[in-house]
Amino acid sequence: MPNNEFKMKVFTLSSNQALAREVVDLLGIELGKCSVNRFSDGEIQLNIEESIRGYDTYIIQSISTPGNEHLMELLVMIDALKRASTKTINVVIPYFGYARQDRKLGARQPITAKLIANLLEKAGATRVIAIDLHAPQIQGFFNIPVDELTGILVLSDYFAKKNLENTVVVAPDNSSIRRARKLANRLNTSIAFIDRECYKTNNPEAVNIIGEVKGRNAIIIDDMVDTAGNVTLSTQALLENGVHEVYACFTHAVFSGFAIEKIQESHIKELVVTNTISVPDVMMPEKIKWLSIAPMLSQAIMRVQNQLSISIML
């Protein structure tokens, strides 16, 4: 329980209401009272329904589909909190949308992740708490404190309890090696990685796997699963290279397009994700396992509120 609980309010908007309720239950407080509606022309109508003068406030909101709507809600809420004379405005963004646009990949392209950082700061945010940013350098886009948590701790605890034998952690591309190494260290196993350039052929037999995988149980890890094309092709390649069973884990379950159908039809034994993005209101395949990051978020909020170090959680 935070020491300053009576001067703290946690709010949620449209994107992560179930997660926010879990968080406040763990903190032993009630959700802050606010309403989010739409005017007839679609504009956001937001109202904070209690006094928050002098309070430390926390907003739990992912920039997930529909990302533009959820981002605008967040900016409007920050402005409302600032004008209501809050002490601090701590923005908790479990899934930081637009994070893949962290650099220019060609001429005349924007760096949208930096734009999002500017918007949040200009609106009045005083701190950002995020989980597994797609690119670590996004922290440097802000001039306010940014605490980046990681879902790897939740995922590794899950796999440790499964007691899988003869495992290898697989990075599906070069950018995932850092995450794979962290998971492998926590599971006391080795890593392998896949040369992503080979994906251009869309032929699993042509994929170059670096590391010993034959006869082992593979655990693919990345920060997000979007269309599921990458993970299903990686699974095919691993199985054709002698892997016994393939598991996969991701912090963010974006699930665009026919991702769920691809996963269902694939030879993935189990795909594990967290609830940084709200669980879709559809029938999910049994092979998809959801884990909650609410305990981690509640602990982070408590530590920020009590001015304690976050690094102990990393």
Q: How far apart are CA 4 and CA 58, in angstroms?
A: 13
Question: Are the C-beta atoms of 225 and 250 separated by less than 8 Å?
Answer: yes
Q: Give the tokens for residue 178.
A: 């850092």
Residue 100 annotated as lining a ligand binding site: yes
Residue 252 annotated as lining a ligand binding site: no
Residue 101 annotated as lining a ligand binding site: yes
Q: How far apart are CA 24 and CA 9, in angstroms?
A: 9
Query: What's CA 258's distance to the chain center, in Å?
Result: 20
What does the DSSP assignment read for 152-217? HHHHHHHHHHHT-SSEEEEESSGGGHHHHHHHHHHHT-EEEEE-GGGGGG--GGG--EES--TTSE
Residue 124 annotated as lining a ligand binding site: no
Residue 134 annotated as lining a ligand binding site: yes
Residue 222 annotated as lining a ligand binding site: yes
Q: Which residues are annotated as a binding site for ATP?
A: 41-43, 100-101
Q: Which residues are annotated as a binding site for Mg(2+)?
A: 134, 173
Q: Which residues are annotated as a binding site for D-ribose 5-phosphate?
A: 222
Q: Which residues are annotated as a binding site?
A: 41-43, 100-101, 134, 173, 222
